[in-house]
Structure 1
C-alpha cells in the first residue's frame, strides 16, 4: 500500500520545524546538501511509486471498461434476439438469445475474482442474478405451451422485459462507474503531481538558499577581501557562527591574511635591507681606502715618534701616546664598521651543506669566549646527532651576533646564556633558542631590533648591524626568527629552520 502524496507533503512541508531541529544538531554544508538531495530523492520515489500505482489502476480500469462495454453489447444482443423471438417466434433467435446469455454469465464469472473494488462486486452480483432470472423467464416463456396452459403470456413477457431493462441499465451503470473511476484517478494523479511539484520547488528553493547564503555569498566576500588585500588592506573577514565549512574557510582565509601581512612586513624589511645594502656597499668601499691610509700613517707616525717621545716631558709623552692610541683605536673601530657594512651588503656564494649543529655552536662559543666576562656563563644543549643543511660560516656568524647581543644585555656582566635546539612536533623543522637573563628588550624597541643601524647601546658600543645580519642569514636558510622578552627578565630569540633544504 503506497502512502498518498498529500501525506508525504504533510511530512516534508514542515520546513521550519525541520530547520529548528537541525539547529539543535548543527549540520555542515555538505550534510545539509545531502539531506536536501535525500529529501528530493524520497519525494521523487514517492511520486514515481504513486504515479506508477495510479497508472496500473487506470490500466486495470480501462481493461475492465472494455469488458464492461462488451458485456453491455452482449446484453443489447440479448434484448435484440428477445424482441425478434417475441415477434416472430423463431427458434434461431431463441438459440442466439441463450448463447448471449451464457456468454454474459461466463464474462461475469471470469471477471468477478479480479474485481477488488467493493462497490463493483455488489453490482456484478445484481447483474448476475438479473441475468439468471432473465434466463429462467426466457426458458419458461419458450416452454409455456408444453407444460402450463394456464400461464399468462403477457405477464411473463412484461417480467422478461423488466429484467432485460434492469440488466441493460445495470451494465450501463457499471460502464459509467468504471469510467468515472478512471477520471477520478486521473484527477487525483494531477493533484498529486501538482503537490509534488510544489514540494520539489520548495526543496529546490531551500537548496538554492543554502548555496546562495552558505557558498556564493561567502565566496563573494572572500573575493572582495582579496581585492582589498591587493590594495594593501589586510583587515580580516568577520567570522560567522555557522560552525560549517564556511566558518572554517573564513578562519583559514583570515590566517592566510595574517600570514600575508607578516610576509608583507618581512618583504618590506628585506627591500629596506637590500636598498640599504646597495647604499652601504658603495659607502664602505669609499671609506675603506681612507681608513687604510689613516691606519698606515698612524702606525708610521708612532714608529717615527718613538725616539722623539723620550725627549718630551712625562706629561707631553703620555698625552702624545694617548692621542695616537685613540687615533689607532678609532680607526680600527671604523674599519670594523666598514667590515660589517660590507658583510651586510656582500652577495657571496651561498650553499647549504649537511653539518652537525652542535659543532657550529661549539665553534662559535670558542671564538667569542675570550670576550665573555667571567661572570657570564654560556650553557648549550644541542643533540649530538642533530644535522642540518646550512652555510656553516654564516650560521656561525648568527650565533656570534646573538651571543654578543646577549652579553651586552647583562647587568653588571653577570648572568647566563642558554643555547638549545630540538626538532619540532611535526618533524619538518628544527627550533633553535638563544636565551639570556639580561635586562630584556623594551616593548617599543622590539619591532625595530632587526632594523639596520638600530641600537640601544651607548655610542661607540655597537654598530646596530648585528641582528640585521642575523635576520638576513636566517631568511637565506628559508627560516624565520622571532624574539620574546620581558623587561628585567631577559630575552629569548627563537629560530625555525627547515630540516630539508636544497643547495
Structure 2
C-alpha cells in the first residue's frame, strides 16, 4: 500500500483541481471556526446577563446591609436575606455548560464567599433579635469586608466575561480578514502555479533553444514534479545529449578537415628533416672508414635531432586528430598555444609573424585538445584575413584582479569585419568565404567549446584595422 502511494503523482491539471479544492476546504474550515466563535459569543452573552443579575442582587443585599447598620431595623436584615436568596437562586440556575466556561472558577469563589456572608448575616440577625449591641458591633467589620469581597468578585466576573467577548470578536474579525486574505492568496497561487508549471517552462525552453543554437549544451536541472513539466524537461535533456554527441562528432570532423588543410605544409615540414637524415647517412656510408669518431658522433647526433623533429611533427598531428572524451586537467596555457602555433606554421606565409606572450607558469583547468581546436580556428581565420600575406598574429594572456580568471587575446592585423558580420560570427554555418572554402562551423564550434569550459569568447573588429578575439576562462573549473 505504501509503495502504491509513492508511485501516485498528479499531472498539472489534477494539481490545479486539487489546489482549488483545498482552497475551498480551507475557506470552509475558516467559516466553521467563525460560526463556532459566534456560538461561543452567544453563550458568553448569556453568561454575562446572568453575571449582571447576580451583581445587581449582591449590590442590593449590600444596600440593605448598610441600611441595617444605619437604622438598626430587622426589616433591613429581612430584605438582605431576600436578595441573598435571590443571588443564591441565580447561582443554582446557572447551567453546567456555563459553569464549564473560564469564568466557572470565579463562580465557585462567589458561591463560597456568599455562603460565608449568609452565615455572618444569620449571626447578625440573632444578635439583633437578642439586642446585643456588642455582638452587632463585633460582626459589623467582617460583614462589611465579606460584602465588599462579594461585590468585587461579581464585578470581576462581569468584567472578565466582557473582555472575553471582545477578544472573541477581535479573533472573529481576524478570521474573516484571514479568509479574505486566503482567498486572495489562493488566487495569486493559482496564477503563480499556471505561470510556474506552464508559462515558465515554455520560456525556459525557448531561452535554452537559443543557448543551444550558440553551442552551449548544458542540460536543464530536472525537478521531481512527476508531471508534464518534468517529462518535457527530460525530453529536452535527451535532445541536448544527442546534440552534444553530434557536436562532438562535428568537432572531430572539423579537426580532420583542418588536418586536410595542413597536410601539404606538414609534408614540407617532414621533407626537410628527412632530407637532412638522408644526406647524413650518405656521408657516413661513403667515408665511414676514413671519418674520425668525433665527426661520426656529430653526424649521428644531427640524425637523432632530425628524427626527434619529425617525430614531434607527427605526434602533434596524431594528438590533434585523436578523438577524446571531454576532460578537464590543469594545463600550462603556453604549451597549448605554442603547440598550436607549430601545427599551423606550415600554413603561415613568410610575411606573417606569430608572436606569443603567455606567462610560463600560467596553469588553467581545461581540456587541452579542445582548447587547441579553438586556437587553431582563430589562427587559421587570422591567416586567411591577411590577404596580402603581410601582418602579425599576437597571443597574450593575463589574470584578472582576483586571480580567478584568465583573459586570452588573439589579435591579428588582417582586413577586419563589419558590424553586421561581427553580430553573426558565431552563428552555425555563417561564413564570408567562397563556396567550398569553408563550412562556417569553425567559430561556432569554438564558441561551444569555450562555453563548455564555463568561459566566454568575444570579438572586436573594424574593417581595415584587424580583429581581436578575447577568451575568458576560469582558472579553476568547478564541475557540475
TM-score normalised by the chain length of structure 2: 0.46
Structure with bigger gyration radius: 1
Scaled by the length of structure 1, what TM-score is found? Answer: 0.44
